[in-house]
């Protein structure tokens, strides 16, 4: 069974992340969101639901706790670069007086284009932001937030990570679902077609 999610390659994902202008607060936020998509394989809805309490500090490392479909929870350790991007973003969020239930990712305030509101960002806003960032980076607009799940699955399986570990990372109940996101067979097919001697 082959999934229909459009692909994004590691090279394209890197190009996208590097293209974000972080001289303004919105760029710092967008890099943190795109990094979360890239390095966790989380669904866009789970990213939009993140609260301040879901960013957990264990001293030696930090993690994000995601609430997925049907209320299933999973916790993912943060890569060093993603941790730094989240920290840079949080320095710009004025959460003074807000509790740990306050949203992690927020839209810009309507009153000020340099401050964030206290509301949570919606999945549709993340999708729109991704399209804008793809356009700015000169990347195919067919890429969706779900494309990053295929990237994570394929990349880790190519590196020999056991499918059970990849399955847990992306929050699938069954390995067969994880295999739908595996794009290694598509790469073989493209390589074979390129060898046709015409």
- Residues 34-70 pLDDT 10s: 999 999 888 899 999 999 999 999 888 899 999 877 7
Task: For residue 111, give the DSSP letter.
Answer: S
Predicted structure pTM score: 0.83
d(CA 78, CA 86): 10
Q: Catalytic annotation on 174?
A: no
d(CA 26, CA 116): 9
Q: Which of 29, 133, 146, 183 does the annotation list as catalytic?
A: 146
DSSP H or E run through 25: helix 25-40
Q: Catalytic annotation on 172?
A: yes
């Amino acid at each position: 069974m082959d999934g229909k999610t459009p692909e994004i390659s590691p090279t394209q994902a890197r190009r996208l992340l590097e293209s974000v202008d972080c001289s303004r607060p919105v760029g710092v936020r967008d890099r943190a969101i795109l990094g979360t998509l890239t390095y966790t394989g989380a669904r866009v809805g789970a990213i939009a639901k993140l609260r301040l309490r879901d960013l957990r500090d264990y001293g030696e490392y930090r993690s994000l706790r995601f609430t997925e479909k049907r209320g299933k929870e999973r916790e993912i350790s943060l890569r060093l670069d993603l941790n730094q991007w989240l920290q840079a973003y949080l320095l710009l969020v004025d959460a003074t007086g807000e509790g740990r239930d306050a949203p992690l990712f927020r839209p810009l305030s309507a009153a000020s284009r340099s401050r964030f509101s206290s509301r949570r960002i919606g999945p549709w806003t993340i999708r729109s932001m991704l399209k804008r960032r793809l356009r700015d980076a000169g990347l195919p607009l067919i890429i969706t937030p779900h494309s990053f799940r295929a990237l994570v699955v394929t990349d880790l399986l190519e590196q020999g990570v056991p499918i059970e570990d990849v399955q847990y990372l992306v929050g699938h109940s069954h390995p067969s679902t994880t295999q739908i996101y595996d794009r290694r067979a598509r790469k073989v097919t493209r390589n074979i077609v390129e060898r046709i001697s015409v």
